[in-house]
Amino acid sequence: MGEATAGVAAAFPIPMRALCLVPLVLLAACGSRETATRDDNAAAAAFVPPPTLPPKPLPGQEHSNPITAYVGKYPGDAVDGVGFYDRTEVSRALIDAIGDEKLRHRFTSREAVSVPIFRSRDGRIAAHGCAPHDCADTNWTFLVAPDGSRGEACYHDQATMAATSRWYAAGSPPRSRPGDCPQE
């Protein structure tokens, strides 16, 4: 170390020298934050989420049990490790019937109150659920044929629909029908 350098080192201990570099680092970073924020906002504003695609089983991963194996079980109960709404053909039929993702989540919610899955009068398999502590006013039923076709969903909300329910099928506009959703 030279005599001049040694004098500076003695006058400014190492921590003080490090503090002298702080303004230089801050000056170098000045303005870069604003640009990054502006670019992030532009990207977020232009983002379009991908459409929900219907599920498709991998080759060799098809279900070995028919949908009828769920009759008498609750929608959250698994048959060979697979819940009712987790089956490929059931989830595909639900997506086809109801375009509104938020409403679909109400049908598949594990927090909902449910009854055992049953066979409807027309032979379809039906899962009924309702809002906890409000079953009389907010309830729903999803019906699907044993082969996974003819998915149809009923949703009833007393506050907005009075004595009718909305029925959804194949992505068509909902139709109103009198009464609550079927429970058995």
Q: What is the pLDDT of residues 111-142, one digit of tens each?
A: 899 999 999 999 999 999 999 998 889 999 99
Structurally, how many domains does the chain consist of?
2
At 90, list the tokens: 């059931």
Whether 124 and 155 map to the same domain: the answer is: yes
Structural domain boundaries, residue 90: 67-178
Do 107 and 163 lie in one domain? The reply is yes
> Is residue 93 located within the same domain as residue 33?
no
Residue 51 resides in a domain: no
Shared domain for 75 and 17, answered yes or no, is no
* pTM of structure: 0.66
The confidence score (pLDDT) of residue 184 equals 77
Angstrom distances, CA of residue 112 to CA of 68, 135, 152: 22, 10, 19
Mark the ranges of the chain whose per-residue pLDDT is less than 70: 1-43, 52-58, 60-63, 171
- 138 found inside a domain: yes
C-alpha–C-alpha distance, residues 181 and 120, integer Å: 12
Please state, as a whole number, how many other Cβ atoms lie within 10 Å of the Cβ of residue 41: 10
